Amino acid sequence: MAERQDQSFEREDFAWLVAMSIVFFVLVAIALWREYATPWRPWQHRFKRVLAQAGRFEDARKFHSGFRQIWNPELNLADRCVSCHLGFEWGGILPASLPQPLTPHPALSYMTHHPFERFGCTTCHAGQGWATTARGAHDGGPGWEEPMLSKQLAASCEVSEAELIQMRCNFCHRRDVSTEGMDSLNMAKKLIKRRKCLICHTIEGQGGHTAPDLTYEGDKSPEMFDFSHVTGPKTAFNWHVEHLTDAGKVSPGTAMPDYNLPPEQARALALLILSWRRINYPPQYIPEAGAASAAPRPR
């Protein structure tokens, strides 16, 4: 009787082991398929053909498909954008007419001082660098507050994509009087001086104390703004634009004058103000201050 019972348990255990083994092998197969069927792999196959079509036969032969990233421990940066954006460092060799994400990065004059291996992609373009899907990299996920700068995002703010990038450039270049390629923010820095903003506001320890300190105004969360008198989008950017245009309407009873600035000046100043953030970049990434500061002393 005991022997028959043991055999019965063995048959039941064998059936369970077979079922669990099948489940295990199915999961392994799914994992391998997901690893191979990554969204960036088709682009890499296409890029290899692009190299061959451009006559770069040796480069095409050496090109191997695989996960790619720019890793910079100084900035704690892992940008996996280059798994899809494969033409980024092929400017002047591959045609600029290639579609995204294979388009070469524009050969801008100041790029010689901003090599990809030191600055990566998200330092300038924002986005979620460690993501491996286009949606994750461009839009992020729940709780991610820095979507990639895009034409659509710029259009919602009525600025250009280049102006949004200038705002991020100013994270490091805030003390420059003038910076190449940052025409809008260079104009805004002149307006700060021309409008004598430091008579009332403090910026980096300079200026008056009768108005809010603007040193790290860009870190201020949107919920800290009063949007009850704002007519446009309820964003920190638009609050500043409308406040710089008509301060008395946005903040009734404020001592700030109504400057009635032209739209391009109000938007440029809003971008400058939002660029003033507490950024923990290593000192070697911060340019030395010029003869004058972006926050000049009031006369």
- What is the rounded CA–CA span in Å between residue 112 and residue 229? 46
Signed CA dihedral, 229, 234, 239, 242: sign only = negative
pLDDT at 144 over 90: no
pLDDT digits (tens, 9 = 90+) for 219-247: 998 889 999 999 999 999 999 999 999 99
Calculate Rg over the CA atoms of the chain: 27
- Predicted pLDDT at 140: 74
6 falls within a domain: no
Give Cα separations from 278 to 98, 172, 204, 274 (angstroms): 37, 10, 11, 11
**Closest Cα to residue 149, out of 63, 20, 271?**
271
Residue-level pLDDT at 72: 94
pLDDT for the residue numbered 299:
35
Same domain, 281 and 186: yes
Kindly report whether the peptide bond that precedes residue 101 is cis, defined as omega within 30 degrees of 0: yes
Q: Say if residue 291's pLDDT is above 80.
A: no
Given 139, 169, 204, the domain boundary residue is 139
In a domain, 4, yes or no: no
What's the pLDDT score for residue 26?
Answer: 73
Q: Are residues 126 and 218 in the same domain?
A: no
In contact, 89 and 68? CB cutoff 8 Å? no
Q: Are 140 and 128 in contact, with CB atoms under 8 Å apart? A: yes
Residues 135, 186, single domain; the answer is: no
Strand partners, 207: 202
Token couple for 272: 């400058």
Give residue-wise pLDDT tens across range 40-73.
999 999 999 999 999 999 999 999 989 899 999 9
Residue range 103-114: mean pLDDT, rounded:
90
Paired residues of 71 in beta bridges: 78
Distance of CA 210 to the CA centre of its chain: 34
- Position 294 pLDDT exceeds 90: no
Same domain, 109 and 46: yes
| Average pLDDT, integer, range 98-121 | 92
Note the pLDDT tens digit of each residue in 153-199.
899 888 999 999 999 999 999 999 999 989 999 999 999 999 999 99
Domain end (from 109, 139, 169): 139
Q: How confident is the model at residue 292 (pLDDT cuts 50, 70, 90)?
A: very low
Residue 297: half-sphere exposure toward Cβ, Cα within 13 Å:
3
Reported as a pLDDT band with limits 50, 70 and 90, residue 118 is: very high
Give the end-to-end CA distance of the chain in Å, rounded to a whole number.
105
Averaged confidence pLDDT in the chain: 87
What is the reported pLDDT for 34? 66
The whole-number pLDDT of residue 70 equals 96
When pLDDT is cut at 50, 70 and 90, the band that residue 297 belongs to is: very low
Residue 104 pLDDT exceeds 60: yes
E strands present in 161-290 = 202-203, 206-207
Does residue 135 share a domain with residue 80?
Answer: yes
Query: 95: domain range?
Result: 41-139
The domain boundary, picked from 85, 118, 139, lies at 139
Report whether pLDDT(264) > 80. yes
pLDDT of residue 78: 94
Q: Is 60 exposed, middle or buried (0-12, 13-18, 19+ CB in 10 A)?
A: middle
Residue 36 lies in a domain: no
Using an 8 Å Cβ cutoff, are 267 and 241 in contact?
yes
Whether 134 and 53 share a structural domain: yes
User: Is 161 within a domain?
Assistant: no
**Residue 18 pLDDT > 60:** yes
| pLDDT, average across residues 17-29 | 78
- CA angle (171, 213, 168) in 5-degree steps: 15
Number of domains the chain contains: 2
β-pair partners for 79:
70
Q: Are residue 96 and residue 191 in the same domain, yes or no?
A: no
Q: Could you tell me the pLDDT band of residue 260, with boundaries at 50, 70 and 90?
A: confident
Q: Do 221 and 234 form a contact (C-beta atoms < 8 A)? A: no
In CATH, what number is assigned to the domain containing residue 255?
1.10.760.10
Domain annotation covers residue 147: no
Round to whole Å and give the CA distance between 237 and 267: 8
- Quick one: what percent of the chain has pLDDT higher than 70? 88
Instruction: List the single range of 6-10, 82-86, 89-93, 103-107 with lowest mean pLDDT.
Output: 6-10
